[in-house]
Amino acid sequence: MHDEKYDVVIVGGGPSGLYSSFSCGVRQLKIKLLEARATLGGRIPLYQEQLIWDVAGSQGKLGSEIANNLMSAAQHFPAEITFNQSVTKISKTGRDFVITTQDDTTYAAKTVILAASSGIIHPRKLKIEDNDGFDNLHYIATEIIKFEDYIDKTVMIYGNPESLTEYAILLQKIAKTVILVTKKSHFNDISVFLDNVIIYTNTDIEVLKRNKLVVSEVVLSNGSRLEVSEILVHLGTKYETKAISFENFDVTMLDQNGHSFIQNNPDTSTNVKGLFVVGSLGAYEGKAYNLAACLSEATKAATQAAIYLDDTVVAELRVSTHNEIFKPKSQVMRANYFN
């Protein structure tokens, strides 16, 4: 077991977990965030090229923009984030919790915020030799991208036409060249593409030429050899169901439409003191299942965790414009806001 004991261990690095980390930081709690995959973002990559309209103040923003902002916010305050840690078991020792992961690593926590989904999403990968470990090859169904990173670059996107079109529409405005490669026979509407979009149909990727950790050249099944800056792959996803077991204490569960959820309250508390649930793992009457609701639950969980740790804590924080915790950074940012 790690010697350190955290005020809160957050399980899951999706939107609700990331904003829980930020909200716990506002409360000045000692935070550990455990993410089962190698990347943050949860399920947002599934719709990161779409415009989001149900998050106040971010209406009409791309999912990728919101996700990147959430990732930055999660590290606004000190927070230890550990990747490739899938939580398998949670037990109690007195008032505290012990969180165990798939490799038998354990973490001690005074409170736990469960922000994980009921399963882990993995990308379907290329079925060619030497296709992993590249810095410029990204599986966009599970990995958040920053579109501004592709300005003036030659970007190849490989996969199903339905998945590629909306990425191409966005990238063609900023990239030097966008190369679409698909094994399918056609795209439904090529009129949406600009002149810098090159299309290869009935074509597969055969070889990736390596220059250390970078793909330097792609060889296609039609004999074309292409130099590219970045490769985005969208071949869909696989879903791995992962259930967390609770040892030596019982958590009240709720069945809805054939699925099992942890029964929590609107303030995110459960029947177990110190255990809070945000996002899609929890269920209660009237719960909303959208991104805005996840973020709202994250702030509630942080508040409940802080109160559980210290019952003299005031539930309602001062607004951020007058909260002392933001004052130093706000002064610097305001002075340089339009630079």
Task: Give the Cβ contact number of residue 53 at 10 Å.
Answer: 11
Confidence at residue 214, expressed as pLDDT on a 0 to 100 scale:
94
Q: Which of 267, 6, 25, 35 is nearest to 111 (CA)?
A: 6
pLDDT score at 133: 84
pTM: 0.91
- CA-to-CA dists, residue 220 to 163, 172, 206, angstroms: 20, 21, 5
Instruction: Please report the pLDDT score of residue 243 as a whole number.
Output: 81
What is the C-alpha separation between 177 and 166, in angstroms, rounded?
15
pLDDT value at residue 57: 87
* pLDDT (tens place) for every residue of the chain, 339 residues total: 666 899 999 999 999 999 999 999 999 999 999 999 989 999 899 899 999 998 888 899 999 999 999 999 998 899 999 999 999 999 999 999 999 999 999 999 999 999 988 778 889 999 888 777 899 999 998 999 999 999 999 999 999 998 899 999 999 999 999 999 999 999 988 999 999 999 999 999 999 999 989 999 999 999 999 999 999 999 999 888 778 999 999 999 988 777 789 999 999 999 999 999 999 899 998 898 889 999 999 999 999 999 999 999 989 988 898 999 999 989 999 999 998
Lookup: tokens for 308: 């559980």
Both tokens of 15, joined, read 């939107």
Tell me how far apart the alpha carbons of residues 76 and 171 are, in angstroms, rounded to a whole number.
29
What is the pLDDT, as a whole number, of residue 2?
65
CATH numbers and ranges of domains, the chain: 5-121+239-335 (3.50.50.60), 125-235 (3.50.50.60)
Which residue is associated with the tokens 């410029």?
A: 136
Tell me what pLDDT residue 147 has: 94
Give 288's DSSP letter: -
Residue 256: the pLDDT is 78
C-alpha distances in Å from residue 291, one per residue of 33, 52, 55, 113, 300: 19, 9, 7, 17, 15
Residue with tokens 């029947």: 271
| pLDDT at res. 259 | 78
CB 125 within 8 A of CB 41: no
